[in-house]
C-alpha cells in the first residue's frame, strides 16, 4: 500500500514537473516569442543560400522579395538572419546586444594577420567600444569635418584637377579611375601619417595595389566557400586565393608599421600631427592601447576611407556622363552660385542644393557598400514580433532599403529631385549609404566632404563625355562595389 502511494505521489510530481516545463517553454517560445520565418531544416536553408551568386546584395534582394524582409536560415550549427527592411535594420543596429561582429575567421586572418580580433572594423565588446571612441575623438581633434580636413581635401582636389589638365595636354581622354584612387588614398594617408605622395610616387603605386586586394577579398572570399569554411585555406585552389589576399593586406600593414616606427623615433607628445601620433600619446594607458591595435586601427581607416570613396566618385562620374542634362544642371548651379570663384569650398555647400541632391542620389542609387560586415547578438533580441536566438549571424542589405518601391516609388530611376523640396536639399533618413545605428561608419563626415569637394570642383572645371562607349553602372563586386573602370573624354570649361 505504501509503495503504491509513493508511486502515485512520484507520478504526480513528474507530471507537475512536466507541466511546469511546458509552461516555461510557452513563456519562452510562446506567441510573444515567435521564431523568425524561414525554410524548414538545413536543406531548405542551404537551398536558399545556393541562390546567392557573384553579386550577393542583388540576390539577397530577390530572396527577400520572395521569402520576406526577415528571413532566418537554420544551418544546424548556427543561424543566419537576413534583414531587408529599414525599420528592422534600424531596430537591430540601435540595439547594444547586436553590436558584436559575427565571427569571420578568414577576413580576420587577412586583415589582422591572426585569428584575434583587433582594431575597430572587425572587433567586438569593450575593445571595439574603447578603440572606436578613441578613433572618433582623435579624428575630431585632428580637424576631421572641420577646416583642417577641408584644407587637406581641397589640396588633393586641386592636385586632381591639375593631373587631369596634365593628361589632357597629350590627349583629351583620361582614366579617372586611377586618379580617383590616388586622390582618396592621399587624403587617408595624410590623416594617418601626415604625408601625401605625388601621383607618380612608387609608394602611392604600392598603396594602389592594396585596393586590388580589397577587390579580390570581396570577389573570392566573402560569401564564397573559403569564407564559410576556413579550413579550405589549407587546400588548393583556395590556398592560393587566401595567400594572394593575405599578402596583399600584409603589404599595407608593413607599410603602416614602417610609418609607425618612424613616428616613434620622432614622437613629440606635445605636438601630435596625425592619427599615429594621437595613438602614441595614449600608448599602454590601457590594455587596448597597444602597437598591435594601432597597426590594425590604421588598416581599418584605409579599408573604410579609401576604396568606398573612390568608387562613389567613379559612379558619380559615370552617371554624369550617362545623364548630360543633369551634369549641365549641376554646372549651371555652380556657375550662378560661385560667380567667378575658381574653386568650391564647404561654405558654398548650403547654396548648392541640387549638387548636394545629385551626390546623395548617387549614394542611394549605386549602393557602394550594400551589405555590411555581419553582426552577432550576445543575447536573444526582439525584431518586430520575432525573437532572434543568441549568437545568430545577422546580415543587413541596405540595397533593399534604397530600392524599396513602396517608399521611393521609382527607385530604379536616377532622379536627384527626390531630395529637393521648395528649392532646398532635404536629407532622407532612409538613404543610409554609411550605415545606421551604433556601428555607423566613423569616417562618414570625411567621406561626405570628399564626395562634395571632389565632385563639385571637377564639374566646375571640366565637362565629361563618353569615350568610345557609355560607361557601365553595373556593379563590379568587391569588398565594396564600383563600376568597371572606364575612360572619359574631357573638355576644359574655362
Q: What is the pLDDT of residues 35-57, one digit of tens each?
A: 898 888 888 888 888 888 778 88
pLDDT at 484 over 70: yes
For 70-84, give the DSSP string. EEEEE-SS-EEEEE-
Whole-angstrom Cα distance, residue 479 to residue 315?
16
Q: What integer is the mean pLDDT of 327-346? A: 95
Determine contact, residues 331/460, Cβ cutoff 8 Å: yes
Closest by Cα among 440, 470, 455, 476 to 361: 455
Report pLDDT for 32: 59
Calculate ∠ Cα 81-216-201, nearest 5°. 135
Compute the distance between CA of residue 228 and CA of residue 235 in angstroms, rounded to an integer: 14
> Would residue 21 count as lying in a domain?
no
Over residues 408-426, mean pLDDT: 97
Whether 59 is covered by a domain: the verdict is: no
Return the CATH number at 478: 1.10.630.10
Secondary structure element (H or E) that encloses residue 487, with its range: strand 487-492
Please state the domain count of the chain.
1
Residues pairing with 316 in the sheet: none
Ranking 6-20, 149-163, 419-433 by mean pLDDT, the lowest is 6-20
Give the pLDDT band of residue 89 (cuts 50, 70, 90). Answer: very high
Element housing 276 (H / E):
helix 275-281
- What's the residue count for the chain? 494
Instruction: Give me the pLDDT at residue 391, please.
Output: 93
Higher pLDDT, 295 or 49: 295
Dist CA 286 CA 293 (whole Å): 11
Give the other-Cβ count within 10 Å of 159's Cβ.
17
* Domain boundaries, position 474: 104-364+415-492
Say if 303 falls within a structural domain.
Answer: yes
pLDDT, tens digit (0-9, with 9 covering 90-100), for 182-212: 999 999 999 999 999 998 898 888 888 777 7
Asked whether residue 231 is domain-assigned, the answer is yes
Task: Compute the average pLDDT of residues 260-275.
Answer: 94
Residue 182: inside a domain:
yes
Q: Is residue 353 in some structural domain?
A: yes
Rounded distance between C-alpha atoms, residue 67 and residue 48, angstroms: 10
**Number of CB atoms found within 10 A of residue 267's CB:** 16
* Residue 298 vs residue 18, higher pLDDT: 298
Does the pLDDT at position 325 exceed 70?
yes
CA angle centred on 439, ends 67 and 98, rounded to 5°: 55
Q: What is the mean pLDDT of residues 165-180?
A: 87
For 77, residues 6+ apart whose C-beta sits below 8 A from its C-beta are none
- For 436-467, the pLDDT digits (tens) are 999 998 888 888 999 999 999 999 999 999 99
- Cell triple for 335: 556657375
Mean pLDDT of 67-90: 90
Look at residue 226 and tell me if it is in a domain.
Answer: yes
For residues 327-345, average pLDDT = 95
Average predicted confidence (pLDDT) for the chain: 88
Assess if residue 305 is contained within a domain.
yes
Phi/psi-derived region of residue 119, left when phi > 0, alpha when psi is between -120 and 50, beta in every other case: left
Share of the chain above pLDDT 90, in %: 59
Amino acid at each position: 500500500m505504501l509503495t503504491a502511494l509513493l508511486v502515485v505521489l512520484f507520478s504526480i510530481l513528474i507530471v507537475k514537473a512536466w507541466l511546469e516545463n511546458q509552461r516555461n517553454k510557452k513563456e519562452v517560445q510562446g506567441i510573444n516569442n515567435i521564431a523568425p520565418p524561414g525554410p524548414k531544416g538545413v536543406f531548405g536553408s542551404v537551398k536558399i543560400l545556393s541562390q546567392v551568386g557573384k553579386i550577393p546584395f542583388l540576390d539577397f534582394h530577390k530572396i527577400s522579395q520572395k521569402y520576406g524582409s526577415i528571413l532566418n536560415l537554420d544551418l544546424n550549427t548556427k543561424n543566419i538572419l537576413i534583414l531587408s527592411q529599414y525599420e528592422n535594420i534600424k531596430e537591430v543596429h540601435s540595439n547594444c546586444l547586436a553590436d558584436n561582429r559575427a565571427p569571420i575567421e578568414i577576413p580576420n586572418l587577412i586583415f589582422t594577420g591572426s585569428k584575434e580580433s583587433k582594431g575597430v572594423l572587425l572587433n567586438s565588446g569593450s575593445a571595439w567600444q574603447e578603440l572606436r571612441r578613441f578613433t572618433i575623438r582623435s579624428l575630431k581633434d585632428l580637424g576631421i569635418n572641420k577646416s583642417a580636413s577641408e584644407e587637406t581635401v581641397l589640396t588633393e582636389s586641386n592636385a586632381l584637377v591639375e593631373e587631369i589638365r596634365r593628361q589632357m595636354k597629350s590627349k583629351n581622354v583620361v582614366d579617372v579611375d586611377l586618379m580617383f584612387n590616388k586622390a582618396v588614398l592621399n587624403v587617408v594617408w595624410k590623416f594617418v601619417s601626415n604625408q601625401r605622395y605625388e601621383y607618380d610616387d612608387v609608394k602611392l603605386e604600392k598603396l594602389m595595389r592594396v585596393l586590388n586586394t580589397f577587390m579580390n577579398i570581396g570577389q573570392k572570399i566573402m560569401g564564397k566557400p573559403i569564407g564559410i569554411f576556413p579550413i579550405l585555406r589549407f587546400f588548393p585552389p583556395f590556398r592560393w586565393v587566401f595567400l594572394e589576399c593575405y599578402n596583399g593586406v600584409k603589404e599595407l600593414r608593413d607599410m603602416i608599421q614602417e610609418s609607425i616606427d618612424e613616428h616613434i623615433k620622432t614622437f613629440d607628445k606635445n605636438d601630435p600631427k596625425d592619427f599615429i601620433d594621437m595613438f602614441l600619446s595614449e600608448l599602454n594607458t590601457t590594455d587596448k592601447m597597444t602597437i598591435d591595435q594601432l597597426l590594425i586601427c590604421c588598416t581599418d581607416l584605409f579599408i573604410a576611407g579609401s576604396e568606398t570613396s573612390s568608387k562613389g566618385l567613379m559612379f558619380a562620374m559615370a552617371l554624369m556622363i550617362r545623364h548630360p542634362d543633369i551634369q549641365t544642371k549641376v554646372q549651371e548651379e555652380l556657375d550662378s552660385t560661385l560667380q567667378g570663384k575658381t574653386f568650391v569650398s564647404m561654405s558654398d555647400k548650403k547654396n548648392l542644393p541640387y549638387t548636394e541632391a545629385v551626390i546623395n542620389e548617387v549614394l542611394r542609387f549605386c549602393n557602394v557598400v550594400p551589405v555590411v560586415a555581419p553582426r552577432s547578438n550576445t543575447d536573444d533580441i526582439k525584431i518586430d514580433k520575432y525573437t532572434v536566438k543568441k549568437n545568430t549571424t545577422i546580415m543587413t542589405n541596405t540595397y533593399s532599403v534604397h530600392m524599396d518601391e513602396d517608399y521611393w516609388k521609382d527607385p530604379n530611376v536616377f532622379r536627384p529631385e527626390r531630395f529637393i523640396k521648395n528649392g532646398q536639399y532635404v536629407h532622407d533618413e532612409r538613404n543610409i549609404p554609411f550605415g545606421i545605428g551604433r556601428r555607423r561608419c566613423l569616417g562618414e563626415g570625411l567621406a561626405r566632404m570628399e564626395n562634395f569637394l571632389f565632385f563639385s570642383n571637377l564639374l566646375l572645371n571640366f565637362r565629361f563625355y563618353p569615350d568610345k562607349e557609355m560607361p557601365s553602372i553595373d556593379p563590379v563586386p568587391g569588398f565594396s562595389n564600383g563600376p568597371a573602370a572606364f575612360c572619359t573624354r574631357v573638355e576644359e570649361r574655362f
